[in-house]
Amino acid sequence: MAAVSGFEGFEKRLQLDFSPTGADADPLGLRGLSPATLRLVLDAVGCSIVSAAGNRHFDAYVLSESSLFVYPHRIIIKTCGTTQLLNSVPLLLRHAARLGGAGGLRPSLCRYSRGSFIFPDAQPFPYSSFRHEVELLERALPAELAHRKASVVSSPGPHSSWHVYSAAAGGYMSEERERERELFTVEVCMTELDRGLASAFYRGDRRRWLSGDEAGREMTEGTGLGGVNPRSLALGFAFDPCGYSMNGLDRDRYSTVHVTPEEGYSYASFECVGGPWEEEGGETAAMLARAVRVFGPGSVSVSVSGGGGRSEAVWSAVESAVGAVGLECRTRAAEYFPGVGQVTYQTFAAARQ
């Protein structure tokens, strides 16, 4: 009997960092990629832009399947469903080589991460096997990204493995990039959303005729997502008949939220950056608690990458934040990845009665 699948909420996340090669580097860097080039890259992935915003630091796009962030020397693409995210790698490397003046932009770091899919059998090749994804990356990346590691940071139970690959150039590992490693990325995946809370991400009759941006604004305000980071400009987009994506812009920091509210495979994600952990870990943990409260999930995983925090300090701050909404920490793990630093991973489930 064929398995019936719903929408795959769990995202694949790719980050590519670049270094300019010439002294006369163009400060726009990757932000100089033309709309036609971005379309070409996203066509190959299997998604499209539904809304765009930007500030003096970066451009933020809501995609039909999640989000894209473009900084002068960093691009982050996060896509869900059955998208083929890794098709973007050779295209981005090729187009970046023509940007930024002189010898173009050369890659200095590649980071790929994802959770465990709800519907793994519905994924196209190579995404049903992490080994195949890694093989594809290994072939696509140039030899200068020589410091490489692939690992599944896992724990027993469903949806509880965190797949991470990183490849960094020698220069990226050296001291002048130390500050970069002081920044952390928090990736939160939530399933079994509270039915009442998830229903706020359906348009219903009242919002049927609103644009995606208008209905998204109402959802951002009505659910409290706008208050998760009160400093950030939160731009929400509502899909039809349900589903929601939001990009937040706070100076040079992005955040993003994605929601699949359908019963049976409900899913929401929250991602943000900050750093270093000693300075911003507390504030970020408070944001994490506010984000989780919006969805009332039955199970949550939290990964924190980089930021220089000690694993015990990160584990305990995350555990207090998620524990405050009635979830219990079930597993935790930490591993080092080149160019990324420490990656901690924790899973949470409803507290046992």
Ligand X SMILES: C[S@+](CC[C@H](N)C(=O)[O-])C[C@H]1O[C@@H](n2cnc3c(N)ncnc32)[C@H](O)[C@@H]1O
Provide the annotated active-site residues: 66, 80, 245, 258
Site for ligand X in 10-49 (CB under 6 A): 11
- For residue 306, what are the CA distances in angstroms to 182, 259, 344? 6, 25, 9
256 binds ligand X (CB under 6 A): no
Rounded CA-CA distance 141/338 in Å is: 15
Region near ligand X per CB under 6 A, out of 12-20, 127-135, 252-260, 273-281 = 252-260
Q: Is 144 flagged in the annotation as binding?
A: no
Query: Using N-to-C axis directions, what is the helix angle for 277-295 and 311-323, rounded to 10°?
Result: 30
Nearer to ligand X, 142 or 204 (CB): 204
Answer whether 225's CB lies under 8 Å from 238's CB. no
66 binds ligand X (CB under 6 A): yes
Q: Is 65 flagged in the annotation as binding?
A: yes
67 binds ligand X (CB under 6 A): no
x/- map, 99-128, ligand X, by CB under 6 A: ------------------------------
Q: Is 125 flagged in the annotation as binding?
A: no
Choose, by CB under 6 A, the member of 25, 59, 64, 69 that binds ligand X: 64
Task: Give the per-residue SS3 of 7-70.
Answer: CCCCCEEEEEEEEECCCCCCCCHHHHCCHHHHHHHHHHHCCCEEEEEECCCCEEEEECCEEEEE
Region near ligand X per CB under 6 A, out of 51-59, 98-106, 203-211, 235-243 = 235-243
Region near ligand X per CB under 6 A, out of 5-13, 15-23, 106-114, 179-187 = 5-13
160 binds ligand X (CB under 6 A): no
Answer whether 347's CB lies under 8 Å from 160's CB. yes
Nearer to ligand X, 237 or 277 (CB): 237
Answer whether 189's CB lies under 8 Å from 298's CB. no
192 binds ligand X (CB under 6 A): no
69 binds ligand X (CB under 6 A): no
Minimum CB separation from ligand X for residue 4, in Å?
A: 14
Q: What long-range pairs does 51-56 form, CB within 8 A, spacing at least 24?
A: 51/212, 51/213, 51/235, 51/237, 53/233, 53/235, 53/247, 53/249, 54/249, 55/233, 55/249, 55/251
Question: What count of other Cβ atoms lies within 10 Å of the Cβ of residue 204?
Answer: 11
Q: Is 262 flagged in the annotation as binding?
A: yes
Minimum CB separation from ligand X for residue 84, in Å?
A: 15
Residues near ligand X (CB under 6 A) are: 7, 9, 11, 64-66, 80, 239-240, 242-243, 245, 258-262, 267-269
